[in-house]
Chains A and B, each alone.
Chain A
Amino acid sequence: MSGYLSGDPATLMEAIPYCRHLGITASVKDGALLLTMPFVQHLIGNPALPALHGGVIGSLLETAAIAQVIYETRPERLPKPVDITVDYLRSGRAVDSFARARIARQGKRVVNVHAEMWQEDEAKPVAALRGHLLL
């Protein structure tokens, strides 16, 4: 088993170059995994608003889903996304973002995961993801 898959979530994020590029960090808060993505300029998709790029939002949610599955199932390999659907609920503003995920159903090979992203108010999600990952 690779070290970064068995260690703590913070180590996992540091081991993945694209997560470092986006500045995503992970921590465990009250027994649950929480991902944080501090605002930086290169996350912007629309400078006029300004708003986070939809791809950044999708990336954070997909990362939350993967991290949650690793955290709960301790797989030997990185889970592979099969499909994801992202619903964009609000514009992502130029502030810090947070995400968490939960496993809706775990089979032997496939996991169904739901993830949500929010900014200042967890009750007002910016985007939601549903997806399947292959273990």
Chain B
Amino acid sequence: MSDAPEWLKHAKKHMNLTPYLAGIGGEIVEVGTPAVARVPYSDKLIGDPETGVVHGGVITGLLDHTSGLAVMVKLREPMPIATLDLRIDYMRPAKPHQDIFAECVCVRVTHEVAFVRGTAHQGDANDPIALCTGAFMIIRGGVHGIPVTPA
């Protein structure tokens, strides 16, 4: 469901241009609750050359990115955010040759800090690859890097 604030609706295209996300071939699927991003399987993401399993860092990267997006969905105006900490629990290795999705929800926003829960899966959120818990600093009065008008 897209419950994103007006300023963020225009930002999806720009946010897909984030160099790291573009570099791993990832894309934002849903700017809403939950926030969803996807990365298709590709050889350059492999962490175990024997099995073809994707590197844990890819999961971390996708969950971090999607968690940040989930926080922004809850902000009424653009403000920079910074990851304070991120915990990832790896439930099982990602199956090779399948897309990986991250679905994150910002559970609570206080004046300074936002709290996020997220799941990485391969199509079935009830069979997760990884779970994440993150805390983000909200930098009120900071300069946001995302253009808030349509490109």
Contacts and interface: CB of A to CB of B under 8 A. Distances in A.
Interface string B88-130: 1110010000000000000000000000000000000000000
Interface stretch (A43-51, A107-115, A117-125): A43-51
A55 B43 contact: no
A71 interface: no
Contact of A59 (B46, B61, B87, B90): B61
B44 A17 contact: yes
B16 interface: no
A43 B20 CA distance: 5
B90 A83 contact: yes
Interface in B38-83: 43-50, 54-58, 60-65, 68, 80, 82-83
Interface residues of B, number: 42
A53 B64 contact: yes
Identify which of B54, B57, B68, B84 gathers the most chain A CB atoms within 10 Å of its CB: B57
B18 interface: yes
B48 A78 contact: yes
Interface residues of A, number: 40
Contacts of A80: 90, 93
Contacts of A44: 18-20
A83 B58 contact: no
Nearest to B51: A78
A58 B20 contact: no
Given A83-B87, A83-B88, A46 B145 contact: yes
Interface string A3-24: 0100000000001111111100
A55 B145 contact: no
A91 B57 contact: no
A81 to B, nearest CB: 5
A54 B44 contact: no
Interface of B: 18-24, 43-50, 54-58, 60-65, 68, 80, 82-90, 93, 143-146
24 contacts: A17-B43, A18-B45, A18-B46, A19-B47, A21-B44, A42-B19, A42-B22, A43-B23, A45-B65, A47-B145, A53-B64, A53-B65, A55-B57, A55-B62, A55-B65, A58-B60, A58-B86, A59-B60, A78-B48, A80-B93, A83-B90, A85-B87, A87-B84, A88-B82
